[in-house]
Every structure is written in structure tokens, then in C-alpha cells.
Structure 1
Amino acid sequence: MPRSLTPAGERILTAASALFYERGIRTVGVDAIADAAEVTKKTLYDRFGSKDKLIAAYLEERNRIWHRFLDEQLLQRAPRTPEEVILALFAALTEWMAESRRGCGFINASVELAAPDHPAMPVIVAQKQWMRAEFLAQADLAGFRSTGELADRLLLLHEGALVSYRVAAMEHAPEVAGRAAADLLATWPRG
């Protein structure tokens, strides 16, 4: 979904984003979204076509916010090596989760939207694949061996922290995952 939305479209997306994240996707109906955005249901459907497409737009917007956040965190932390970039991504996760009481919006959505053909599933999958690709690129730059396996393990640590934060109420999960990532990088074979 392109970001060129009308003011009503922006209000709908903002309202839907807050409601979907706070209450869950399936529990929020289009009536509640339209009321919160102060638009009619017809306007909502005119702008987004369906609730399912609005869900995809919500996740696309969340992904844009996540990318901007990571860019800001990396700029602020100024990592000098690929290993420092990887660890900065875990540190950024700690900062992100401090503001995200309900955990990862993508993981939450994937649980609620189990149908593989839902319009939001490609957004969810692409977001997770992008994170793995970031780990892979940095592992390649660092000169590690078996970088695909390393990227898989880093992604599992990252995603495991997100799930543990939410499901196990493990508030320090991102920090634990960051330490585990540091240990993994320190022992992973190179070249």
C-alpha cells in the first residue's frame, strides 16, 4: 500500500494501528476503527478495500516505523564493525521492546492470521526475511564461515526474545538474547 493516503486514510490507518496492536486484529471490527478515525465505514472501505487490506497496510506501516527506528539506533550507536552492527540490532530490540507492551506486532498478527493466503502474510514473512538478510549481510562482511547458519541462529535469538518477552513475560529477554548473540559471535569460526 503506497503511503500517499488522504487525511481520512491517515486517520483510519492510525486508528487501526493503535487498535490492532492494543486489542488484537480479530477482536477489532471495522465499526470500531471507523468510529476511532471519525469516518464512515464506507470511507474506510473506499480507502482500503477491506479489513484484510487494512491489516496489511497496518503491518506495512509498522515495518516502516521499525526500519526508521533501526536506522536511528544504528546512527546513534555508530557501530564500526559488522559484529558491532549485529549487536546494535539486538540493543535496538531492547529499546524497541521497552515501548512495546504487547510484543511484536508481526508475530501477534501471524498467530491471529493463520491463513497463508491472507493479504498480510507476505508482509509478515518479508519483515522476518529482511531481518535474517541483515544478519546474513553483516556475517558475510565480518568474514564468518557458514553465514547462512549463523544468520539463522541470530534470527532465532532475535525472534525468540520477542516471543519470550510477550508470552513468558520475560521483560529482559532482549538483553539475554543480545548476550547470547555476543557469545555466539565470539566463538563462531571465521574465513
Structure 2
Amino acid sequence: MDDEEARTRLLDAAEALFYAEGIQAVGMDRIRTESGVPLKRLYKVFPAKEALVAAYLDRRDRRWTASLRGAVAEAADPVGAVFAWLAAWFSEPDFRGCAFLNAYGELGTGPAAVLDVVRRHKAELQELLAEAAGAGREDLADQLLILVEGATVVAALTPGPAPAHNAAAAAATLMRAAGA
């Protein structure tokens, strides 16, 4: 097994475990066991748990953001597409809320590398919403971000599409009020 295969296996195991059970609840030994990567290779690839957590979140961010961007890019109503995409995500059987907010909730301002990934993810989401809202509507994008984040938190407590649908209705009201 080379470092690249080990990295992939470790990230796959870390993502499944961290998202389902939490970062602090899962130790490196459990990740090693689940991934089948020898301990020496694990620490060669990820010298500390912080590095593994940051890499897990970074990979999740790239995949999550690309998927949402893809849904929005093809839509006649980009803002509506955001909330339709959220409704589908909230309905997935393994949905456990926002991995980035979950990580921040667990770790706070602790590991700088993790906090950097969380902040970058939220900035990318803000940028995507600004593009969806249209040029010159930064205030509207800020409001849409609050709706997205609020719907995600509510859906973590009560999974299913309803929080996204409710947030979409609020977003439509905001868009009309902004003349969009």
C-alpha cells in the first residue's frame, strides 16, 4: 500500500466515522482499524489527528461545494436550486447536519488548520449564494446564508426536506422584496 492509497483509505474511514459519531468520539486507533492502514503508515500520512480532521473537512468541502455548484449552474432559478439541493441532502439517510458546523461545535477555535477549513467552506458558500442572488446583492446573499445555515441546523434535529422547503419560501419572499 502506497501513501496515496493509505491517504484515501484513512480519509474514507475518517469521514464515515467523524460525520456519524463526532470527531472527539473517534480515536486514531479506530480509524486505523476501520481503514486497515498500519499505524506507522497512518502517522506518516497524518502526523496528528488535527491534520486528518483538516484533510477530511477539506475533501468534504470540495465534494459538497462542487455538487451544490453543479446544481445551481444548470438552474433557471439558482436560489431555488440551492434549496432544492438542500432538501435532497437533508433527506439522505445518513444526514447528520453540517460537518463544518459540527466540527466547529466540537472543537471551537481549537486547531487552527481545522478552523481555517471551516471558515473557507463558509466563505465559499457565501460566494456561491452571492452569485445565485445576483450582482450587487451582497445583503441578500448574507440573508440567504442565514437561511441555509438555519435550515441545515433544523434539519439536523428533524431530518427531511421540510426545513429546506420552509427556508426556500422565506428566500423567495426575500428575493421578491429585493426585486430579484
Shorter-chain TM-score above 0.5: yes
- Tell me the residue number matched to 1:164: 154
Deviates more, 1:14-23 or 1:179-188: 179-188
1:79 equivalent to 2:75? Answer yes
Q: TM-score when scaled to structure 2?
A: 0.90
Identity %: 35
Deviations 1:85-107 (A, max 9, x none): 12111111111121242111111
CA contact (8 A) 2:95 2:159 kept: no
- What amino acid is aligned across from residue 41 of structure 1 in structure 2? L
DSSP 3-state at the match of 2:116: helix
- Tell me the residue number matched to 1:98: 91
- Tell me the residue number matched to 1:182: 172
Q: Can you give the 5+ residue segments of structure 2 that lack an aligned partner in the other structure?
A: none
Deviations 1:141-189 (A, max 9, x none): 3xx6xx222111100000000111113x263111111111111101114
Tell me, in whole angstroms, the C-alpha distance in 2 between the residues paired with 1:86 and 1:21. Answer: 27
Cα offset for 1:117? 4.4
Tell me, in whole angstroms, the C-alpha distance in 2 between the residues paired with 1:118 and 1:41. Answer: 25
RMSD: 1.8
How is 1:20-169 mapped onto 2 (pairs within 5 angstroms)? Answer: 20-74=18-72, 78-80=74-76, 84-99=77-92, 100-141=94-135, 147-167=137-157, 169=158
DSSP 3-state at the match of 1:39: coil
Aligned residue pairs total 176
Residue 49 and residue 21 in structure 1: after superposition, are their counterparts in 2 closer, same or farther (change >3 A)? Answer: same
Q: TM-score when scaled to structure 1?
A: 0.85
Deviations 1:2-28 (A, max 9, x none): xxx611111011001100001100000
DSSP 3-state at the match of 1:6: helix
DSSP 3-state at the match of 2:171: helix
Following superposition, which runs of at least 4 residues in structure 1 exceed 2 angstroms of deviation? 71-75, 115-118, 137-141
Q: Can you give the 5+ residue segments of structure 1 that lack an aligned partner in the other structure?
A: none
Deviations 1:123-154 (A, max 9, x none): 1111111111122233333xx6xx22211110
Tell me, in whole angstroms, the C-alpha distance in 1 between the residues paired with 2:133 and 2:155. Answer: 26
